[in-house]
Structure 1
Amino acid sequence: MTSGPEPAPDTEPEVPAPTVLEQMGGVSGLVYSTIPVVVFVPVNSFFGLRAAIIAALVVGVGIFAVRLLRRERLTPALSGLLGVAICVFIAHRVGDAKGYFLFGIWTTLAYAILFAGSILVRWPLIGVAWHLVNGEGTAWRRHRPTLRAYDIATALWALVFLARYLTQSELYDAGATGWLAVTRIAMGWPLTALVVLATILLVRRAVREEHSVEA
């Protein structure tokens, strides 16, 4: 009596590590982040600050619900809703619509300092994040060309954050709420997409150099 074929081993398919863009919520997540701003500013112009706060919160909750229904990553969805809540809270406390942008302005400055500082201490954040996501060690830091590639990628992000801070802080001081909205969108997902593309190219180059050294 012959036995049937042995069952295949119970192995789970390897799940690819999320890309930088996927960790940020993907292209849709970047676009979603602009919708509350697009709603907040016009509503404030026509109906006042309180109506604008309510409208932004309603839109934020609606976007969160849509992302849950679409089974998108939970972390970007939660961070998007929390970001809207913080922005409208600050606007309420400041008593001016421009306060909606204050949290983002100071956050970009903090990111610029963090990314630039990571280069100075020889732990560029792009390299750290990439190897952390992929479960790899720290051997990449001993390969100078690889470290340089991650330095450049990290520096690009630092420059983007610094440019956002300088531009938007000037507009905030001038009280130009409408231009703050335009600048936040223009320097938001379109610029982020370009930097993500540059980061991917630099990271791939760094990975190839690492593998060539290991071989």
Structure 2
Amino acid sequence: MTMTEPQHDRTRDRATPSLLDQMGGTAGFVYSTIPVIVFVTANAFLSLPLTIGIAVATGLALFGYRLLQRERFSSAVGSLLGVALAAGIVAWTGSARDFFVIGIWASLAGFVVTAGSLLARRPITGVIWNAVHGGTHPWRSTPAVLRAHDLATGAAALVLGARFGIQQWLYVAEATGGLGIARVAMGTPLTVLAALVVVWAFRRSTKALVR
């Protein structure tokens, strides 16, 4: 019996979709950068209405391609809705820099949540881990586990805070090209780094508390 339980735990861990899988995998991050690159490039040479149309058309093309690749509908349509909403805001305001405003304020909201949970001594990654595992584990009273989630939530807060600070500064400076570069550079690479810390904290918690 004791030989089968660890094997069962490992099987369950492998069966649980990773954070990266839930967000569309590495390809999902790459797909999310394509409309940004297309928008910034088109905006440098074309009128704003044409730029908006090309960005939306790119989003639609990627949506269709991802469905053909048998990706989850929720992942594929989420990126399309993001592009459509950003383009709609640009069409409404008439300012190309507003293509990035949703991401900027989403980063601020994420920073407030993650930083606030650290100040409250309830790091959000620990709250999520405990909820996923039944909500009954004494993770806050286990020092090693609490420290792991402090680090994981802190990493997420650092990434989100940096995104907001730098991109908001570029937004105020009306540097649309700079916003595009910052969006790509601070998107996939930093998200993957933060996700790795979160995955490490989750695994450490599972090893320490799940029998």
Is TM > 0.5 for Structure 1 vs Structure 2?
A: yes
Change in CA separation of 1:132 and 1:74 when aligned onto 2, cut-off 3 Å: farther
The structure-2 alpha-carbon separation of the partners of 1:80 and 1:131, relative to structure 1 and needing over 3 Å to count, comes to farther
1:90–1:103: 8 Å Cα contact kept in structure 2? no
1:48-103 deviation digits (Å, cap 9, x = unpaired): 11111111111111111122222212222222111111111111122111110111
Larger Rg: 1
Structure 2 residue runs without a partner (length 5+): 1-10
Deviation at 1:113, TM superposition (A): 0.4
Which secondary structure does the structure 2 equivalent of 1:34 belong to? helix
1:83–1:207 Cα change, 3 Å: same
Q: Is the 8 A contact 2:151 2:197 kept in 1?
A: no
C-alpha distance in 1 between matches for 2:131 and 2:47: 46
Aligned equivalent of 1:3: none
Task: Determine which of 133, 136, 153 is the counterpart of 2:134.
Answer: 136
C-alpha distance after superposition, 1:156-191 (max 9, x if no partner): 101100000000011111111111100110000011
Aligned counterpart, 1:59:
58
Return 16-25 or 165-174, whichever deviates more. Answer: 16-25
Matches of 1:39 and 1:175 in 2, distance apart? 18
Q: Does 1:124 align with 2:123?
A: yes
Structure richer in helix, relative to its length:
2
Give distance in 2, aligned partners of 1:129 and 1:74.
Answer: 24
Note if contact 2:59-2:83 (Cα within 8 Å) is conserved in structure 1: yes
Structure 1 residues 107-153: Cα deviation after superposition (integer angstroms, max 9, x where no partner): 100010011122233332222333444x4323123323212211210
In the TM superposition, residue 194 of structure 1 has moved relative to its aligned partner by 1.5
- What corresponds to 2:201 in structure 1? 202
Q: Which amino acid aligns with 1:17?
A: T
| Residue 201 (structure 1) shift | 2.1
Which residue of 2 is the match for residue 7 of structure 1? none
2:113 matched residue in structure 1: 114
Moved more, 163-172 or 56-65: 56-65
| Paired position in structure 1 for 2:87 | 88
Change (3 A) 1:84 1:147: same
Q: Which amino acid aligns with 2:38?
A: V
Give the TM-score taking structure 2 as reference length.
0.87
Q: Supply the AA of the counterpart residue of 2:103.
A: G
Bigger shift: 38-47 or 159-168? 38-47
